[in-house]
Structure 1
Amino acid sequence: MTHPAPTAPPPGERAVRRRLTTEIWIVLGLSLGRSGVYAVVNIVARLTEGTPLGDQSTTLNPSYSPRPLLDLTYQLLAIGFALMPVALALYLLSANGRSAVRRIGLDGRQPWKDLLTGVGLAALIGIPGLGLYALGRVLGITVEVQAAGLDAVWWTIPVLILSALQNALLEEVVAVGYLMERLRELRWSAPAIVVTSALLRGSYHLYQGWGAFLGNAVMGVVFAEYYRRRRRVMPLVVAHTIMDVVVFVGYALIPADVRGALGLS
Structure 2
Amino acid sequence: MGYLTALAAIGEVAMSEGEFSGKSVLVTGAASGLGRAASLRFAKEGARVCLVDLNKQGLLETAKRIREAGGECVANDGDLANPVFCASAVAMAVEAFGGLDVLCNVAGILRFHALGDVTPENWNKLFGANVTGPFFMMQAAMPHLAESKGNVVNVVSTAAFAGQAYTAPYAATKSALLSLTKSLAMEFMHAPVRINALAPGGMLTEMVNGLEFPADADQALIARYIGLRPPSQPEDIVEPLLFLASDRARSVHGACYTADSGITAG
TM, length-normalised to structure 1: 0.29
Structure holding more helix per residue:
1
- The higher radius of gyration belongs to 1
- In proportion to residue count, which structure has more strand? 2
Using CA pairs below 8 Å that are at least 6 residues apart, which structure has the higher relative contact order?
1
